[in-house]
Structure 1
Amino acid sequence: MSNPPDQPTDARARLLTHFQTARGTTEHGQKWDDLWKEGFVPWDKGIPNPALVDLLTERQDLFPPSLKASRRKALVPGCGKGYDVLLLSAFGYDAYGLEISSKALEAARQNEKEMDGKGVYETREGVEKGSVTWLSGDFFADDFLKDVKGEGSFDLIYDYTFLSALPPVMRPAWSKRFVELLAPEGRVVCIEFPTYKPASTGGPPWALPPKIYLAHLSRPGVELPYGEDGELLESKLGEPSKIGLQRIEHFQPKRTHQIGYNAEGKVTDWVSVWRHP
């Protein structure tokens, strides 16, 4: 089965144009905030990713219980309207949704009022519902941690479309930050997307085949070699870092958001789960 041809949609063409002049994390964050203020959010699907729902429901063996008296904490950077945050709360995590856009957080708070505890967000049997906290700030700075209970680390950090929203130059900082914020026995969960598009087409969303996650999370903070076409030069990577995360599970989910299927109905997303060495 073939992957879908990467034919730019009107929405993606607008995103490409919108971010052409962005430089650095501050300008990049402002560009996303501008889109939220305009109400142009084509990435919003209105529900948590079904792949995350299934992972939390069917693979609790991947997530060790907290060794502390306090409840486990989860972080969703770039949480948007907060669907995944509400879901993690329903599974017993004290869930934190981090956003650089105040407009996005307004929508997240409204969603919490309307949806929390209902449908897919109903608290799971045998689980005490976790708290929900909305954080305003930059993922790459520490300011938001002042509003986090206890230590500034998390038992679960979730990424779906957050990395694909960042330009490739920010990938070393992204991987380093995940390692810094992950609790000693914690897990990183990535829904890897988009895996099918050529790197040369640019972004956002930027092309993210599984090899990108593997290369960066196993070499946190390291600038990795890329070709002029944007493709990772795997032969020049060198050995993984001793502090890099280890991938403990990697599979294609039974279901995901519609954008994660190709024209023949085959899932193109991957799920990966990571831990400290």
Structure 2
Amino acid sequence: MTDNPDQQNNTRGRLFSHFDNTDPSQHGPKWDELWRQDFHPWDKGSPNPAFIDVLNERQDLFEAPTQGRKRKALVPGCGRGYDVLLLAAHGYDAYGLEISAKALENAKRVEVEEKGKGIYATKGGIERGQVTWLAGNFFKGDFQEDVEGGTFDLIYDYTFLSALPPSMRPAWSKRMTELLAPEGRLVCLEWPTGKPASEGGPPWSLPSKVYKCHLQNPGEELPYDKNGDLKEANIGEQSNSTGLVSVAHFQPKRTFQGTGYDAEGNITDWIGVWKR
């Protein structure tokens, strides 16, 4: 999003009206329309600095590489694919999944232009991973036919959940548990955490409790109040049998300017890392 308040309001208004009164099952083509209109204010031209730092500085949070086996990473809703290229530079066979054909066209162009440059340069002592672009629906899973084993050692969510209506959160959490490998890690860069739920979306309000409660209770319909706030007190502390477990939850030392900071300059984004 832009830093200018008036432009932010115009952008939110356009996004809201674009999806208003549209059944969630039809949102895929609506996102493709925006890409074809060259309207993608969420695109910052690079990976979020918070994710760059996690990959560079917090390898203790992830499964160690196994000799002779490449780890696989998935970025659902990958857009122009910056995170996919970053993960490949860190040695993952990286898969970028998109429902928008136009977004994937852009991603393939970015790969040609940026591969091996700057932050996308392969890290010392690491064999670069392969990049694969997948056209498909995250919730249907046809794309898994092109992935050996069908699961991933790392899944990264940033702006993907915030693009989904709250009614799709149970399905989102269920699919994440299905796609995560037994020793894998789900990394969620939580945003926007401070937006009131009553403002609607996209992007939809995503306080940390939304990630926590849905990932601990994947597939379950959870209680929300009339304003769209999750009633955490009505859920309890215990995960269901397929729920994920928190590995780490912390605020990054940096993130995108203009979206991840409040008016006083404090970071509002969080990073959550989850495992089976």
TM-score bin (small chain): over 0.9
Is the 1:154–1:182 contact (alpha carbons within 8 Å) kept by the matching residues of 2? yes
- 1:201 aligned residue (193, 199, 202): 199
Structure 1 CA distance for aligned equivalents of residues 144 and 115 of structure 2: 24
1:52-71 aligned at under 5 Å gives the runs 52-67=51-66, 69-71=68-70
Pairwise CA RMSD: 1.5
Q: How far apart are 1:7 and its partner, in Å? A: 10
- Which secondary structure state, in structure 2, belongs to the residue aligned with residue 260 of structure 1? coil
Greater Cα shift, 91-100 or 239-248: 239-248
The 5-angstrom pairing of residues 122-141 of structure 1 reads 122-141=121-140
Report the Cα distance in structure 1 between the residues aligned to 2:248 and 2:12, rounded to whole angstroms.
31
Q: Partner residue of 2:268?
A: 268
Aligned-pair CA distance for 1:21: 2.1
SS of 2:189's partner is strand
Q: Which residue of 2 aligns with 1:104?
A: 103
Q: How far apart, in 1, do the equivalents of 2:114 and 2:173 lie?
A: 32
Alignment TM-score, normalising by the size of structure 1: 0.95
Partner SS for 1:48: coil
Gap change, CA 1:268 and 1:85, over 3 Å in 2: same
Letter in structure 2 aligned against 1:213: Y
The Cα of 1:234 is off from its aligned counterpart by 1.2
Tell me the equivalent position of 1:222. 220
**In 2, Cα distance between equivalents of 1:57 and 1:208:** 26
State the Cα deviation string for residues 201-255 of structure 1 (Å, max 9, x = none): 0000000010000000000000000001001111211332121001110000011
TM-score by length of 2: 0.95
1:99-147 residue CA offsets vs partner (Å, 9 max, x unmatched): 0000000000000000011001000111100000000000001211122
Alignment-derived partner of residue 17 in structure 1: 17
Total equivalences in the alignment: 270
| 3-state SS of 2:228 partner | coil
Would you say the 8 A contact 2:24–2:165 is kept in 1?
A: no
Shift of 1:6: 12
| Gap runs ≥5 in structure 2 | none
1:60-94 residue CA offsets vs partner (Å, 9 max, x unmatched): 01111245732000000000000000000000000
- Which of 168, 181, 187 in structure 2 is aligned with 1:189? 187
Find the residue that maps to 1:264 and give its secondary structure: coil
Q: Which moved more, 1:258-267 or 1:201-210?
A: 258-267
**Please, which moves more after superposition, 178-187 or 253-262?**
253-262
In 1, the alpha carbon distance for the partners of 2:116 and 2:90 equals 11
Residue-by-residue CA offset, 1:156-190 (whole Å, 9 max, x unaligned): 00000000000000000000000000000000000
Q: Distance in 2 between matches of 1:261 and 1:24?
A: 29
| Change over 3 Å in CA distance of 1:65–1:233 after alignment to 2 | same
Secondary structure of the 1:157 match is strand
Contact 1:176–1:221 (CA<8 Å) still a contact in 2?
yes
Partner SS for 2:42: coil
Separation in structure 2 between the aligned mates of residue 194 and residue 202 of structure 1, nearest angstrom: 12
Corresponding residue of 1:232: 230
Task: Structure 1: give runs of 5+ residues left out of the alignment.
Answer: none
**1:136 alignment partner AA:** A
AA at the equivalent of 1:230: G
Q: What is aligned with 1:210? A: 208
Percent identity for Structure 1 against Structure 2? 62
Shift of 1:151: 0.2
Task: Name the SS for the 2:33 alignment partner.
Answer: helix
- Once residues 171 and 15 of structure 1 are traced to their aligned partners in structure 2, the CA distance between those partners, rounded to angstroms, is 19
Partner of 1:160: 158
Separation in 2, partners of 1:202, 1:22: 14
Q: Secondary structure at the match of 1:81?
A: coil
Alpha-carbon separation, structure 2, partners of 1:64 and 1:14: 41
Structure 2 residue matching 1:133: 3-state secondary structure:
strand
Answer whether contact 1:46 1:83 (CA < 8 A) is retained. yes
Q: Distance in 2 between matches of 1:269 and 1:162?
A: 15
